[in-house]
Each structure stands twice: as structure tokens, then as C-alpha cells.
Structure 1
Amino acid sequence: MEIPFEPIITGYKINIHLILEYLAFFLAFRYYVFLRKRSIDVIPNSNRLSIILGAALGAFLGSRIVAVFENPVFITDISVFVTILNSKTIMGGLFGGLLGVEIAKKIIGEKQSSGDLFVFPILLGIFIGRIGCFLSGMNEFTYGKVTTFIAGMDLGDGLKRHPIALYELLFLILLFLFLWKLKQRNLRSGLLFQYFMISYFAFRFFIEFLKPNIFFILGLSSIQILCLICLLYYYKTILNLFKNAR
């Protein structure tokens, strides 16, 4: 199999990344519905719907805004504007979704933590999406720098590069298993989601050094700056983790 993987069916080239992206959304939502039916949700249906809408709107805006900062361009015509509108990044989506949820909860007056139910569906969605990123090779900005490392792969340009998407797939499997085990310990409500965000954003902060990014401030890319903002947002939880580790 060659990468980028672009199968041709009945004479049409299939965008495998787009298909897997839609599949990720569908299966992640179905998994969320499945988990919610099997758990006791203290948040009323009407409030839960408002929270989901807040998350969706925040994720939509956040994914686009951060993507623009990741690869800043000047709008010269409508085609450039459409390209910007279609650009998105999961990091902006996650943090934008977090802010959207918090704003929605403030508006409706909901005090209960709402993130734990989203953790494993989000992990599933990211995992499926990253398969699409890997199969897209150089067509998606998830490829790494040129390397002589044993894991280096030709992702479509004839050069050995870090397969960032594969590294992330392995990390996601380990993170899923780790959080699933933590879930059995009956953690305080909301803590599972916080651990997920801290773990994933910390991973992405370090893995970004292996990508040919544009580094804006202090040798950091826009994604890495967002990671630091997220980790700062959860600084109390991180401090408690260090205390417990001692």
C-alpha cells in the first residue's frame, strides 16, 4: 500500500481521510449515547443538550481559529477564505469545546461536572481520525521532520519522516487503557476529563517538536502555546497530581 492512500472506486478517487473523519464523528457520538444509557447522568436532558451544543459550537470555532494561527495566511480572494474555513485542528477543537461547555454551563446555571462522559468517545474519534491522517501522508499536516530514526517512513515525498500520526495512535491506545483503569477507582466527577486533557495536551506539546512547524514565540508553535494555556488552565489538578505522586 502506497501513502498517500487514495483508492479509486468506479473511476473516482476516494478521499479516505474525509470518510474516516465523518466515521469518527458518527461512531464517537454513538459511543457517547451508549455510555450515557449505561451510566447515571445527574445532568438533566435539557441541560445536557445545551452542553453538547456549547461543545459543538466551541469546537467548531476553536478548531478553525487555531488552524489559522498554525498556518497564517492573508485573505486575497474567496478561495483563500474557503481554504481557511475548511482548515481545522483537533487541539483547537478540544480547547474550544471546553470553553464552549463552560460558557453554556454558566448560561444555564449547571454546576455539575459534565466532561467524563465525553472522554472515551473523544478518544475513539481522535483515533479513527488519526488513521485517516496517516493514510493521507503528506496531504495532511501530521507528518514529521526528515529523520534517520528507525521508525522513519516515506509518507509520499520520497523522504524518511517521523510518522507522527502513528506515534499518536500508539499513545491514544495507552491513554485509553490508562484512563479506563482509573475510571474503575470512582474518581471525583470531572477528574477523568481533566486527566485526559492534561495527558493529551502534554503529549502534543512534546510531539510538535518533531513536526516542521512555524515557531513563533520562544521557539514554540501556536499549537504548543495552546497546550501551555490548557495546562495552565488545569494547574491546580497538575499540582495535586505531583502532591499525590510524592
Structure 2
Amino acid sequence: MTIPYEPVVFNYKINIHLILEYLAFFIAFRYYIFLRKQTEDTIPNSNRLSIILGAALGAFLGSRIIGFLENPIYPTDISSFITILNTKTIMGGLFGGLLGVELAKKIIGEKQSSGDLFVFPIIVGIFIGRIGCFLSGINEFTYGKVTNLFVGMDLGDGLKRHPIALYELLFLICLFAFLWKTKLKNIKNGILFKYFMISYFSFRFCIEFLKPNTFFILGLSSIQILCLICYLYYYKTILNLFKNAR
């Protein structure tokens, strides 16, 4: 198998990344439904639906805005405008979804934490999507810088690069196991989602240095700046983590 992997079925080239992206949404949602049935959800159905809608709208807008800022392309024709609309990133989706949820909860007056049920479906969805990113090679901006290390792989341009998507797949497996073990300790509601966000954004902050990024401010990319904003959002939780560690 060569990368980018572009299978041909009935003389049509299949976009494997797009298929896995839709599959990620489907499986993640079905997993969420399964977990909700197994869990006593104290949030009413109507409020939960409002929260999901807020998350979806926030994720849509956030993924597009941060995706554009990651690699700004100013439209000069219809084609470039469509490219901008299709540019997205999971980081913007996660943080935009978080803001969308908080706004929806404020509107409907819901006080309870709602994120823990989403944690494991989100990880599963990202995992499936990253498989598509890896198979797409240099067609997706999830490849790394050129490297002479043994982990270097030819992702489609004949150069040995860091396989960033594979690094993330390994990290997501470890994160899933860690958070599942943490969940069994009957921690306070809402903490699990905070741990997920802090862990994943920390990983992405570090891994961005291995990508051929455009670094805008203080040697940081737009994704890394978003990570810092996330740290500010969760600064109380981060301080508690350091306090407990000491």
C-alpha cells in the first residue's frame, strides 16, 4: 500500500479520508448513545438536546475559524473560497464546541456539568479520523517535518517525515486508557472532560513543533496559541493538578 492511499472502485477514486471522517462522526455518536443508556444522566432530554446543538454549532464555527487561521488563504475566486469553507481543524472544533455548550447551558439555565459523556466518543471519533489523515499522507496537513530518525516515513513526496498522525493515534490509545481508569475512581462530575481537554491540547501544543507550521506570534502557531487560551480557560483545574502532584 502506498501513501497517499487512494483506492479505485469501479473506476472512481475514493477519498478515504472523507469516508473515515463520516464514519468517525457516525461511530462516535452511536457510542455516545450507548454510553448514555448505560449511565444515569441527570440532565433532561430537552436540555441535553440543546447542549448537543450548541456543541455542534460551536464546533462547526470553531473548526473553520481556527482552520483558516492555521493557514490563511485569502479568496480570489470561487474555488479558493470553497477551499476556505472546507478547511477545518479538530482543535477549533473542540474549543468552539466547548464555548457552544457553555453558551447553550447559560441560555437554558442548565447548571450541571455535561462534558463527561462526550469524552470517550470524542476520542474514538478523533482516532478514526486520524487514520484517514495518515492514509491521506501529504494531502492533509497532519504530516511532520523532514527527519533522519528511524520513525521517518514517506508520506507521498519522497521525503522521510515525522508521521504525526501515527504519533497521535498512539497518544489517543494511552489517553483513553488513562481516562477510563480515572473514571473508575468516581471523580467529581465534569472533571473527566477537563482532564481530556488539558491532556489533548498539551499533546497538540508539543507536537506542533514537529510540523512545518507558520509560526505567527512568539514562535507559536495558531494551534499553539489556541492551546494557551485553553490553559487559561482551565487554569483553576491545572493549578489543582500541580497542587495535588506536590
Normalising by structure 2, we get a TM-score of 0.99
* SS class of match (2:107): helix
Please give the residue correspondences for 1:6-45 in structure 2 after superposition, counting only pairs within 5 Å: 6-45=6-45
Cα distance, 1:89 vs structure 2: 0.2
* SS class of match (2:23): helix
Cα distance, 1:163 vs structure 2: 0.1
Cα distance, 1:165 vs structure 2: 0.1
Q: Distance in 2 between matches of 1:206 and 1:236?
A: 21
Q: Distance in 1 between matches of 2:54 and 2:24?
A: 20
Residue aligning to 1:131:
131
Q: Distance in 1 between matches of 2:75 and 2:24?
A: 31
Matched, 1:238 2:242: no
Residue aligning to 1:107:
107
Q: Mind listing any 5+ residue stretches in structure 2 that lack a counterpart?
A: none
* SS class of match (1:145): coil
Q: What letter is aligned with 1:197?
A: M
Q: Which moved more, 1:78-87 or 1:200-209?
A: 78-87
Q: Distance in 1 between matches of 2:221 and 2:152?
A: 22
Q: Mind listing any 5+ residue stretches in structure 1 that lack a counterpart?
A: none
Cα distance, 1:26 vs structure 2: 0.0
* Aligned length in residues: 246
Residue aligning to 1:50:
50
Cα distance, 1:76 vs structure 2: 1.0
* SS class of match (1:168): helix
Cα distance, 1:234 vs structure 2: 0.3
Matched, 1:179 2:164: no
Q: Distance in 1 between matches of 2:12 and 2:80?
A: 25
Please give the residue correspondences for 1:144-155 in structure 2 after superposition, counting only pairs within 5 Å: 144-155=144-155
Q: Which moved more, 1:103-112 or 1:72-81?
A: 72-81
* SS class of match (1:216): coil
Normalising by structure 1, we get a TM-score of 0.99
Cα distance, 1:73 vs structure 2: 1.4
Q: Distance in 2 between matches of 1:110 and 1:149?
A: 50
Cα distance, 1:75 vs structure 2: 1.5
Q: Distance in 1 between matches of 2:149 and 2:175?
A: 24
Residue aligning to 1:71:
71
RMSD (Å) for aligned C-alpha atoms: 0.4
String of CA shifts for 1:8-62, please: whole Å, max 9, x gaps.
1110100000000000000000000000000010100000000000000000000
Q: Percent identity?
A: 82
Q: What letter is aligned with 2:167?
A: Y
Q: What letter is aligned with 2:66?
A: V
Q: What letter is aligned with 1:125?
A: G
Cα distance, 1:112 vs structure 2: 0.1
Cα distance, 1:162 vs structure 2: 0.1
Moved segments of 4+, more than 2 Å: none
